[in-house]
Chains A and B, each alone.
Chain A
């Protein structure tokens, strides 16, 4: 991750000298961004993805020169709604709602809109036409990874699928898997398993070991969440089946890059959006709204396919190098305006 300390220093500097980091001719209220207050109201915060998302939000807010306040409800849906009310009471200009439950957030989001506050939602549908949705396209993620599996193995293979039903992004990824199976009858799913027991990788490894010993003919494991893929890889290595099973997944982290690059690693490819970029896009979408421009009802951050070969060829060791060497991963050209300052790379 980019140094938080450097960033904090940068943010303070920007706050002290309002307008310093500004491009010329920004529309109101960004002609005086030191007066703009935005709030990030989070539902999920633990883990690398959410940490990176936050750093993206912080960096883009600093680049625009606006003041950011972070509310973290730690998976408490009722508290998250209260925090929106708290932000309204504080008189912020804009709110980003990061995850949450439709049922609990819908009314709180409406209250914010009624109070004249601009609201953006990331990965939660608050069913409000005034609130644009920022999304990483789960369907595109799954499709990219499965296209690669088909490119590598053709359309006839025995598959294991890791899935936990009832988790919205995972359900959207599973829908693509079902569609791909229907379109390719040669793909035979012999096992479906999965758990979110913490630590997830360890619990999934235990399950995957059982599955591999019950179905030693599995050629492809589709594990559309990196913690799942990590668990499957541990099991494949432990079962001594590294050479014959290929893992395709979604999401990426520094640790994942290391695992994919182990010699002969079974983890062949993953499709991912950069969580930091998603964070930046969330802030830019809110900025467009605040400046009176229309970002559209849906802002989709496109994913990137990352294969083992790409990582090895470019000698990529961590997320920073991934961003530097795969430009598509470092920046998404969505929710942009000429007057916006992007975070320094």
Chain B
């Protein structure tokens, strides 16, 4: 065996080296960057987009795409607020209804794509618009918060349940007191579960097989349609988890389109293609991609860089990552996505 060439090494480890370099530069410029609080905070800032990105990864694996995740997340945000503030139900009901909503939206997306043969981008684009509108109908476009006046003239008495707010705000003692927020725990658990599911189980390998050649997979006796529907349901549920965490952090039902959530999480999943030279969607890469964006934004904010330079750098990172994936790795990646 010949030793790996410089190019091979660059493709495999280039991104991780770049990330380490960023951490060193930022901590030299701003010593506060290297504190444990700062590290945990970076994880917290990427928890929501990271979870959404892992959902997108599941659809990318089966050669699909889910544009509706941002809208599913903000719908879950509005739904959980509606359940608790207006219906005055508890945290469990809110979480369960949101997860069901996410799974339901994923199921409809999957059925549209598999049974109705609507192209994935179009089906989920339609779903995105539908949800952005739907979530505003019950409150006529207003945000939901305790004390808001209802159509019958009374004020909404319900509050966000403390147990629900904990999901986004509670911190676990880890070495330092009150260090790790629950949302970070969710991110790590979901990332590990997704990685195990995609890389180590038969189901995951079947999904990759469908993604590289659906016809061959079907001929091998795999129920391709069912797996693709399942991928969209995974994506919908993950997006609703992201929405729940967002609601728990904000503590109110905020009217928002979720487009930035969509773009950030898709960027994380695409950057993930380049990590370790995988050149395909993968859970580990997605998590690293999300983290990479989080580190960049945290560092740049500490240096008082305005938002447009941050957008610019985010875009530049994405372009470089895509070049890593599609050109340098020599393998022909999927033409789309």
A residues sitting closer than 8 Å to B (CB atoms) are 1-6, 45-48, 51, 164-165, 191-203, 205-207, 209-211, 213-214, 216, 230, 234, 237-240, 253-255, 257-259, 317-320
Contacts and interface: CB of A to CB of B under 8 A. Distances in A.
5 contacts: A5-B151, A211-B302, A234-B250, A237-B169, A258-B147
B261 to A, nearest CB: 8
A258 B146 contact: yes
Contact of B301 (A6, A193, A239): A193
Contacts of A253: 143, 145
Given A195-B307, A206-B297, A318-B155, 15 more contacts: A6-B151, A45-B141, A51-B140, A194-B307, A198-B258, A198-B259, A199-B258, A202-B249, A206-B44, A210-B297, A214-B33, A253-B145, A318-B147, A320-B149, A320-B155
Contacts of A210: 38, 41, 297-299, 301-302
Task: Label chain A's interface by main secondary structure.
Answer: helix
B88 interface: no
Contact of B249 (A45, A46, A192, A234): A234
B173 interface: no
B306 interface: yes
B37 A213 contact: yes
A211 B301 contact: yes
Nearest to B147: A318
Most-contacted residue by chain A among B37, B145, B169, B299 (CB, 10 A):
B145
A264 to B, nearest CB: 15
Nearest to B46: A206
A4 B252 CA distance: 21
B256 interface: yes
B57 interface: no
Contacts of A211: 301-302
A252 to B, nearest CB: 12
Contact of B148 (A1, A191, A198, A199): A1
Interface in B26-45: 30, 32-33, 35, 37-38, 41, 44-45
A203 B33 CA distance: 19
Contact of A165 (B30, B149, B306): B306
Contacts of B44: 206, 209, 238
A198 B264 CA distance: 11
B178 interface: yes
Closest 7 CB pairs of A and B: A255-B145, A318-B147, A199-B256, A210-B301, A206-B45, A195-B307, A214-B302
A48 B140 CA distance: 10
Contacts of A255: 143, 145, 148, 252
Interface string B73-93: 010010000000000000000
A317 B147 contact: yes
B145 A254 contact: yes
A199 B246 contact: yes
Nearest to B294: A206
A295 B145 CA distance: 37
B178 A240 contact: yes
A1 B41 contact: no
Given A1-B149, A164-B307, A210-B302, A51 B141 contact: yes
B141 A254 contact: no
Nearest to B181: A238
B199 interface: no
Nearest to A166: B308
A46 B259 CA distance: 14
A241 B301 CA distance: 19
Interface in B272-330: 297-299, 301-302, 304, 306-307, 310
Contacts of A237: 169
B301 A207 contact: yes
Contacts of B181: 238
A261 to B, nearest CB: 10
Contact of A214 (B32, B246, B310): B32
A211 B32 CA distance: 10
Contacts of B246: 199, 202
Given A213-B37, A255-B252, A258-B147, A4 B302 contact: no
Interface in B41-69: 41, 44-45, 48
B255 interface: yes
B314 to A, nearest CB: 10
Interface in B134-186: 140-143, 145-153, 155, 169, 178, 181
B254 A196 contact: no
B255 A4 contact: no
Contacts of B45: 206, 209
Contacts of B194: none
B43 to A, nearest CB: 11
A46 B149 contact: no
B307 to A, nearest CB: 4
A237 B257 CA distance: 26
Contacts of B261: 198-199
Contacts of A205: 249
B302 A1 contact: no
Contacts of B142: 1, 48, 51
B255 A47 contact: yes
Most-contacted residue by chain B among A206, A207, A210, A237 (CB, 10 A):
A210
Nearest to B35: A213
B260 interface: yes
A209 B183 CA distance: 15
Given A51-B141, A213-B35, A317 B41 contact: no
A196 B140 contact: no
A200 B261 CA distance: 11
B260 A203 contact: yes
A227 to B, nearest CB: 9
A46 B260 contact: no
Contacts of B143: 47-48, 253, 255
A153 to B, nearest CB: 22
Given A209-B45, A214-B30, A214-B32, A202 B151 contact: no
Contacts of A48: 142-143, 255
Contacts of B77: 199
Nearest to B169: A238
